[in-house]
Amino acid sequence: MVNAAEYEDRPWLDPEAEPFIKVQSVSKQFGDFTAVDSVDLEIYKGELFCLLGGSGCGKSTLLRMLAGFETPSSGSILIDGVNMNDVPPYERPVNMMFQSYALFPHMSVEKNVGYGLRRDGVAVSEIEQRVQEMLAMVELSQFAKRKPHQLSGGQKQRVALARALVKQPKVLLLDEPLGALDKRLREQTQYELMNIQEQLGVTFVVVTHDQEEAMTLSTRIAVMDTGRFQQIGTPTEIYEFPNSRLVANFIGNANMFEGRVVENGQDHVIVESRHPECNFYVDHGMSIAEGSKVWVALRPEKVMISKQQTADGNTNTVKGMVHDIGYLGGTSTYRVKVGDEHLVEITSPNQLRPKDGNPPIDWDEEVYLSWEPSSSVVLVK
């Protein structure tokens, strides 16, 4: 308890904290197809947890099992310590925001938002007041009397959010909440969603296939692939320390080098790569036999590009030739040919104005690429 404050924003690190949602080796089969394959998950109170994965990987199915629309083929789901396996959707302490928003087309905005309270038999005057409060929060007060088809996409999304939150659920499940919005609106709404979550302290479980969205929103992310979790961690952990090639490639871009461990020291490993020919000095030790086949992942923005060789014995350096330059304004992306065919991608901020219209680094120029020993990650799968 002494450490309560220390763990406030990171309850998953607190050994004494009790998870709010426990998913215990849950599987879901449709016929002989396994959509969710014995997953375990613990989500803590107040988290904004993202299930991230490509289309068809089983995210929605898992979310629907939390909501009660699908029953697990095996395993169990506990919410606030209660086993949910036999609890129907209308008795669960969770609410869901649907990907299609699922607004009732024959009810006005305020009737939609108040529907859940009416089902709970809340007094009419209280319903009115809570609906007004909710609509004020999502800035839709003046649209209370409208029907859903008289609203724009962004407004519908906010009605759906208000309707799911008005019952003050312990957990809010959101299936691709921003999927139907255009890019600008989506970015703006991300922050609104985070503010609302913080304001109300409700635990959010968000399904998304958009990795940037997941990185921006979440306290923690579970990366899902073909019905299993590949990795669960904070956005930083997942980006900086992916545990597999799949995760490294799914979240952001990564240069991937295949190689062999040639030296395994106390605090470092050296990986020898053949294509292109170079040695990677990586400063995290790991328990792996010398000679094993591994991959080294290197993020494009962690590589420095320059025309002169830096004289630092510790850093990794290779020589290459600029093959392609993509100028993006704030940054440039270089693709540098190292060895005969291997292309390495580098993103680098454009800090200096080009002099006389000439870029600091030009096509077909010889350059040196270098990176810190701490910048790359060794992956075994």
Partner 1 sequence: MNNGKRSIFLLSTLSFGLAFLYVPMIMLIIYSFNKSKIVAIWGGFSTKWYAVLFDSPEVWEAVALSFKIATVNACFATLLGTLAGLALVRFGRFKGRTLFSGMISAPLVMPEVITGLSLLLLFITLKEFIGWPDERGFTTITIAHITFSMAYVAVIIQSRLAGMVQDLEEAAQDLGAKPLRVLIDITLPLLAPGMVAGWLLAFTLSLDDLIIASFVTGPEAVTLPILIYSRIRLGLRPDINALATIIILVVAIGVLIAGYIMLRQQRQRELDLSMVAEEK
User: What is the smallest separation between the CB atom of 203 and ligand ADP, expressed in angstroms?
Assistant: 20
Quick one: DSSP state of residue 45? T
Which of Mg ion, partner 1, ligand ADP, none does 56 bind, CB closer than 5 to 8 A by kind?
ligand ADP
Segment interacting with partner 1, rule: CB under 8 A, options 18-26, 115-123, 299-307, 319-327: 115-123
Q: Which of residues 254-273 bind partner 1 (CB under 8 A)?
A: none
Q: Which of 58, 235, 259, 320 binds ligand ADP (CB under 6 A)?
A: 58
Q: Which of 3, 8, 13, 56 binds ligand ADP (CB under 6 A)?
A: 56
Q: Which of 95, 189, 218, 376 binds partner 1 (CB under 8 A)?
A: 95
One character per residue 17-56, x = contact with partner 1 (rule: CB under 8 A): ----------------------------------------
Quick one: DSSP state of residue 117? H
Edge-first strand order for the sheet with 342-349 is 304-306, 366-371, 316-327, 331-338, 342-349
- Taken as a whole, the chain contains a residue count of 381
Binding of residue 61 to Mg ion (CB under 5 A): no
Q: Which of 60, 203, 273, 332 binds Mg ion (CB under 5 A)?
A: 60
Binding of residue 55 to ligand ADP (CB under 6 A): yes
Maximum Cα interatomic distance, the chain, rounded to a whole number of Å: 76
Binding of residue 57 to ligand ADP (CB under 6 A): yes
- Please give the single-letter amino acid code of residue 148: P
Q: Which residues contact 5 (CB under 8 A, 6 or more apart)?
A: none
User: What is the smallest separation between the CB atom of 60 and Mg ion, expressed in angstroms?
Assistant: 3
Binding of residue 41 to ligand ADP (CB under 6 A): no
Query: Can you say how many angstroms the Cα of residue 245 is from the centroid of all Cα atoms in its chain?
Result: 16
Triad 239, 182, 227: Cα angle to 5°? 45
User: What is the smallest separation between the CB atom of 101 and Mg ion, expressed in angstroms?
Assistant: 14
d(CA 239, CA 212): 11
Q: Which of residues 67-86 bind partner 1 (CB under 8 A)?
A: 67, 69
One character per residue 150-169, x = contact with partner 1 (rule: CB under 8 A): xxx----------xx--x--
Segment interacting with partner 1, rule: CB under 8 A, options 73-81, 147-155, 341-349, 368-376: 147-155
Binding of residue 149 to partner 1 (CB under 8 A): yes
Quick one: DSSP state of residue 196? H
> Which residues on adjacent β-strands are paired with residue 73?
none
- Please give the single-letter amino acid code of residue 275: H
> Which residues on adjacent β-strands are paired with residue 54?
none
For Mg ion, the closer CB: 212 or 324: 212
3-class state of residue 326 by DSSP: strand
Binding of residue 178 to partner 1 (CB under 8 A): no
Which of Mg ion, partner 1, ligand ADP, none does 53 bind, CB closer than 5 to 8 A by kind?
ligand ADP
d(CA 204, CA 258): 39
Edge-first strand order for the sheet with 33-43 is 33-43, 21-30, 74-79, 82-83
d(CA 102, CA 157): 10
- Please identify the residue of the shown chain whose CB is closest to the bound ligand ADP: 60
Triad 130, 135, 141: Cα angle to 5°? 120
The first and second tokens of residue 215, run together, are 């990185």
Which of ligand ADP, Mg ion, partner 1, none does 104 bind, CB closer than 5 to 8 A by kind?
partner 1
Other residues' Cβ atoms within 10 Å of the Cβ of residue 32: 5
**Interface ranges with Mg ion (CB under 5 A):** 60
**Interface ranges with partner 1 (CB under 8 A):** 67, 69, 88-91, 94-96, 98, 100, 102-106, 115-116, 119-120, 147, 149-152, 163-164, 167
**Interface ranges with ligand ADP (CB under 6 A):** 30, 35, 53, 55-61
